Amino acid sequence: MQIKLDSISHSYGDFEVMRDITLEIPNGKIVCIVGPSGCGKSTLLRFIGGLEQPSQGQVLQVGEPPEGCLNPLTYIFQDFALLPWRTVDGNVSLVLEDHGIKGKAAKAIIDDVLARTNLTDFAKALPKQLSGGMKQRVAIARAMAVNPAVLLMDEPLSALDSQTRELLMDDLVGLWERTPFTAVYVTHNLHEAVRLGHSIVVLSRRPGQIRDIVEIDKPLSDRQFGDADLDLHQKHLWNLMREEARAADAELINA
């Protein structure tokens, strides 16, 4: 399934948040969205997920969700959003229970997603026993369990330390290499964007408009830590964003 954003503009009352955003999220690709604080990245993700409606324009879903898809648009949040009283497998099973999937059918899905996220040995652990990185792996496993058409990720790694972020990025690349998924990935972090994005959408400061779309052809599995090509892309992105980020920062301070 593909997502098309057609001339999306939005205001909260007189407060204009974004203007005329037209964008395609191609099937099987990861599209990162970067931009200065307050430019509307999370708001755009909520429009894509159908949690909110834009004042103008529309979000189109083109094509069918994959077979076995239980929830076409599935979020992964920064704060993991796990139920503390449920074990790892219990947290994953919750989204299946919502769809009446129980017993052997549920176990097969849970075993598969826990294996894909290297969590098999932690199936009976409670969230409080897990590190932040492991908690986010559980959230990723839970999202994978519903076989989404599009994963919507809002700063999914920003609560983690930098080494754990690297490990989780490796995991996401591994998952994508095994079964390519479609994702919209909102981040402040340009290093994450160049590591994970097939394309990177740069928004201007508020009202957010598309300033540029940077395509990175290098296969995800060839993108290593410290890669010179990626550093160049990251520098280019930062050059596009620097002045806007400074202005957005000053705006917040003066608000």
Q: Which residue from 8, 23, 34, 39 is in contact with ligand ATP, where contact means CB under 6 A?
A: 39
Min separation Cβ 152 and ligand ATP, Å: 13
Q: Which of residues 151-190 bind ligand ATP (CB under 6 A)?
A: 188
Q: How many CB atoms lie within 10 A of CB 200?
A: 26
Q: Which residue has the tokens 């324009």?
A: 57
- In the three-class reduction of DSSP (H, G, I as helix; E, B as strand; rest coil), residue 71 is classed as coil
Burial 188-199 (b: 16+ CB within 10 A, else e): ebbbbbbbbbbb
Q: Which stretch binds ligand ATP (CB under 6 A): 30-38, 76-84, 193-201, 224-232?
A: 30-38
Q: At its nearest, how many Å lie between ligand ATP and the CB of residue 17? A: 4
What is the closest distance, in whole angstroms, from the C-beta atom of residue 212 to ligand ATP in the complex? 16
Q: Cα separation of 122 and 102, whole Å?
A: 20
How far is it, in rounded angstroms, from Cα 50 to Cα 65?
Answer: 15
**Binding status of residue 41 toward ligand ATP by CB under 6 A:** yes
Q: Which position has the token pair 């930098």?
A: 162
Is cis: bond before 207, omega within 30 of 0?
Answer: yes
CB nearer to ligand ATP: give 206 or 223: 206
- Out of 7, 22, 26, 42, point to the residue binding ligand ATP (CB under 6 A): 42
Among 143, 154, 17, 22, residue whose Cα is nearest residue 78: 154
Near ligand ATP by CB under 6 A: residue from 1, 3, 5, 17: 17
Whichever of 35 and 127 has its CB closer to ligand ATP, that residue is 35
Q: Cβ of residue 157: shortest distance to ligand ATP, in angstroms?
A: 14
Instruction: Please give the DSSP secondary-structure letter assigned to residue 1.
Output: -
Question: Which of 38, 66, 90, 174: binder of ligand ATP (CB under 6 A)?
Answer: 38
CB-wise, 146 or 184, nearer to ligand ATP?
184
> Residues 99-113, buried b or exposed e (16+ Cβ, 10 A)?
eebeeeebeebbeeb
Residue 167 three-state SS? helix
For residue 175, give both structure tokens. 């998952």
Residue from 2, 11, 27, 37 in contact with ligand ATP (CB under 6 A) = 37
Q: Is there binding between residue 254 and ligand ATP (CB under 6 A)?
A: no
Spatial distance between the Cα atoms of 114 and 229, rounded to a whole number of angstroms:
33
Q: How many residues bind ligand ATP (CB under 6 A)?
A: 13
Write out the residues near ligand ATP by the rule CB under 6 A. 12, 15, 17, 35, 37-43, 188, 206
